[in-house]
Amino acid sequence: MVLQKRLDYGFNGYQVPATPRATRSARKRVPFRKRFEDNQISAFDLLATVAGNLLLGKESTPTSSNTSSGEDQSAVVKNAVKEERRDGDQSLKVETCNQDRTDRKFFVSELVPQTNDPNYSSKESPSLLNDAHFGFASVITTSDCSERYDAQKLMNGKTESEMGSLPCKVETGPFVCGTTGDCFKPESQNKGLTYEELDRTDKISIGEVADTCPLEDPVLLDGKPPALVSSDSSGKARSCRDCNPCSSFPAKQDDVNVVSRDDDENSSGCTHPSPIKKPFRPTPRIGDRRIRKILASKYWKVAPRLKDVTFSNSDENVKPACCGRNSAYKRIRSERNYPFKKRKFLHCSSVSSSDGGISNEGISDSSEKSINGNASGVYSKMHGGAGESSSLADQRKSFHSMDSHVKLRIKSFRVPELFIEIPESATVGSLKRTVMEAVTAILGGGLRVGVLLQGKKVRDDNKTLLQTGISRDNQMDALGFSLEPNPSQTSPLLCPGGSPLTLPCDSPLPLARYPTTPGLANQVVCDPSPEPHMPNLGNFVESDHDSAPSPTDMSLEKSTTDSKALVAVPAISVEALAVVPAHRKSKRSEVVQRRIRRPFSVAEVEALVQAVEKLGTGRWRDVKLRAFDNAKHRTYVDLKDKWKTLVHTARISPQQRRGEPVPQELLDRVLTAHAYWSQQQAKQQLKPQQPETCLLLYNSTMRGSSTCDVVEKTLG
């Protein structure tokens, strides 16, 4: 049945940058995390440090550079470091792409204070991998908090109802104080770590985090274990067997208190032919090479203020005190998540330059503002004038003064994971397109925004923020947004041009599948194990949901419903979501998946030609009914278009033709028929009355000779 082998790619998620290009440029890991977390250093210190590192890497950095260890610096240097410096601003956004070991590392960009801190070590967190588990994340920042607390839970391999949702990180306060406690170990430790080692360290740190910081996770609502969950009980040494989503997934959440990305990591370790490594786990499938990433982990970040960090979240486990470094660590990890994804994408699909938008996804990372209030300026500058930035900043500034306005900043959203199946024979270009389409489709209509307040979903869209309590400052910390599958839209989108479920063998072209629907996902994807989020889709369907609001619409809707004009939220969230797919998405807000391309076979061409010869051009509906009535995927528009291309093809030299060659005989007939019917059309315009005989004559004549002359003579 399957003519071609197909490669299935799973994408855990793409992160949609909250900010456009500006974002992608600068990214760097934050050295000071630990200290920062401990409140030993200020935001400015961090900024300065980062700046220093950059400069150092570049070559000369007089003032602020001694902060990072040589190794890091070198790494920084090696990896094209981008930095964005906005005039006069202290904020610095840096992005580095670590080429070596890229897979494992990435840097989180953040704003760094200007002060240098020698003590600070710029170790990067070893475990990037964890990010892979985050299905989706978005970050929201509220303006008024000077301190930010990030709490996120990592759900690894969660199968809960919430899986489908995209957690987002909410940050309060202008500055991200993300620091990692244990994760950032002394360089010596981190250096030279193997993947496994890295994973290990990561785990450890994570585990600690988990223990200490039971933050509310949306998942918890579902009655899931509050603690960080790792599907990987076995831990480090993972073998390919673990890669099997089925085995690793569902199980032991309870037992596991450590969140680990190992699954993904290890999966990469699994020998798989596919270029796509980490993100996907090889799934045993009938003869198909499937790489999938099944773990759809999600994490949720909450950024309560340090002081009154009362997570009123449904999760009882929440410890007020957890804010410390652990939280910071979490946050960092989450941010790192982005780069990871990006890498994944790049590596796997090798989508790069042309990947409109996708590669753009970036963490909106460092957009954090400096503590002092000029943040707004910085922000706007950094983001290259993204409209939202300035307004946002302003809003943030005025946060205190204007009680009626709630200001939020969503740093980024993640797109839910994608599953893609594509023939081995497909070109890279087609893969790129497929991925793009998948992403576009998801962004376009497959998602909607959910609002979480203290871990609870706010389902009543009609409530005002004030009523809900979102407007209250202290509530900000517990405010979260999530991207969730939008059932109403996803379903239709899932089957581009046909039913993916059937996996049309005849289609040489890539199919993109978006397992947003439980049933579909299971069937199409062939999950041995239930997709974590799949089963739970039902949960995402919020009672009051309207037909099919786009994500942006949703956010707008939510925020605007309030008469009080909640300015910031809408703008921000919209922007964030729109960033990547903007060009496409904007055009058609509904974002309907483009139908898969299905080249006409010679037989189809034959049928088409014959029908047109008989019926003539201009009666495409009849042609459809006559010759393609059974081909549901061929619309009369398709036939018309095909005829158009056939005519064109017939007129060009054979060398210029592409695709499956059409027999010259058919092309001749195309030209003949086209000429004839064109003439008929012209005549008709002249004389409305056209002898029926002509048609008959034509038809009888054409059979024998395909020369236009005959037709002409006959007609004449």
Partner DNA sequence: GTTAGGG
Partner DNA sequence: CCCTAAC
What is the contact surface with DNA in residues (CB under 7 A)? 497, 587-588, 592, 594-598, 617-622, 633-634, 636-638, 640-641, 644-645
Q: Which residues pair with 413 in a beta bridge?
A: 16
Shortest Å distance, C-beta 597 to DNA: 5
Residue with tokens 């909106």: 364
Nearest-angstrom CA–CA distance, 359 and 352: 6
Contacts 24+ apart (CB under 8 A), 496-502: 496/437, 496/441, 496/593, 496/594, 496/595, 496/596, 497/595, 497/596, 497/598, 497/633, 498/596, 498/632, 498/633, 500/421, 500/524
The distance of closest approach from Cβ of residue 440 to DNA in the complex, given in angstroms and rounded to an integer, is 10
SS3 408: strand
CB of 682 to DNA, least distance (A): 11
Compute the least distance from the CB of residue 643 to DNA, in Å. 9
- Residue whose CB is less far from DNA, 259 or 612: 612
The nearer residue to DNA, 357 or 497, going by C-beta atoms, is: 497
Beta strands in 173-314 (DSSP E): 281-285, 288-292, 298-302
Which is nearer to DNA, 28 or 624 (by Cβ)? 624
In whole angstroms, the minimum distance from the beta carbon of 593 to DNA comes to 7
Q: Is 51 helix (H, G, I), strand (E, B) or coil?
A: helix
- By C-beta, is 139 or 639 nearer to DNA? 639
- For DNA, the closer of residues 415 and 441 by Cβ is 441
H helices present in 303-413, as ranges = 325-349, 375-382, 387-397
Nearest distance, CB of residue 645 and DNA, angstroms: 7
User: Which of 123/634 has CB closer to DNA?
Assistant: 634
Nearer to DNA, 462 or 502 (CB): 502
Structure tokens at 132: 């892979």
Q: Which is nearer to DNA, 354 or 586 (CB)?
A: 586
Q: Decide whether 511 or 571 has the Cβ nearer to DNA.
A: 511
Give min distance, CB of 595 to DNA, in A. 3
Q: Are 324 and 39 in contact (CB under 8 A)?
A: no
**Contact, 563 vs 397, CB < 8 A?**
no
Shortest distance (Å) from residue 571 CB to DNA:
25
- What the block records as the tokens of 580 is 């990547």
Whichever of 455 and 497 has its CB closer to DNA, that residue is: 497
What residues have CB less than 8 Å from 597, skipping those under 6 apart? 509
What is the C-alpha to C-alpha distance for residues 615 and 673, in angstroms, rounded to an integer? 10
Q: Do 309 and 323 meet the contact criterion of CB atoms below 8 Å apart?
A: yes
Residue 35 CB, nearest approach to DNA (Å): 51
Please name the helix (run of DSSP H) or strand (run of DSSP E) that holds residue 695, with its range, or none: helix 692-704
| 349 alpha-carbon distance from chain centroid | 14
Q: Smallest distance, Å, CB 637 to DNA?
A: 5
Q: What are the φ/ψ torsions at residue 511 (nearest 5 degrees)?
A: -110, 140
Cα separation of the two ends of the chain: 52
Question: How far is it, in rounded angstroms, from Cα 496 to Cα 490?
Answer: 11
Nearer to DNA, 254 or 641 (CB): 641
- Closest contact distance (angstroms) between CB of 678 and DNA is 9
CB of 579 to DNA, least distance (A): 20
Least Å distance between CB 639 and DNA? 9
Nearer to DNA, 319 or 619 (CB): 619
Residue 556 has which token pair?
Answer: 């707008």
Computed from CA positions of residues 300, 304, 307, 311, in that sequence, does the dihedral angle turn out positive or negative? negative
Nearer Cβ to DNA (308/660):
660
Question: How far from 100 is each of 104, 121, 363, 690, CA to CA, in Å?
Answer: 9, 20, 20, 74
- Assign 3-class secondary structure to 618-652: CCHHHHHHHHCCCCCCCCHHHHHHHHHHHHHHHHC
CA distances from 320 to 143, 316, 504, 586 (A): 21, 10, 54, 42
The DSSP line for 164-185 is: GSB--EEEESSS-----STTS-
Tell the smallest beta-carbon distance from residue 594 to DNA (Å): 4
In the complex, least distance from residue 460 CB atom to DNA, rounded to whole angstroms: 33
Q: What is the rounded CA–CA span in Å between residue 340 and residue 49?
A: 23
Measured from the CB atom, the residue of 188 and 681 that comes closer to DNA is 681
Q: Which residues pair with 11 in a beta bridge?
A: 418
Structure tokens at 451: 């609002």
* Minimum CB distance to DNA smaller for 86 or for 640: 640
Q: CB 355 → DNA: shortest distance, Å?
A: 19
Of the two residues 100 and 641, which places its CB atom closer to DNA in the complex?
641
The overall longest dimension of the chain from CA atoms, in Å, is 96
Minimum Å gap between C-beta 679 and DNA is 14
What gap in Å lies between CA 553 and CA 556, rounded to an integer?
Answer: 5
Cα 359 from Cα 346, distance rounded (Å): 7
612 token code pair: 């047109």
Would you say 284 or 599 has its CB closer to DNA?
599
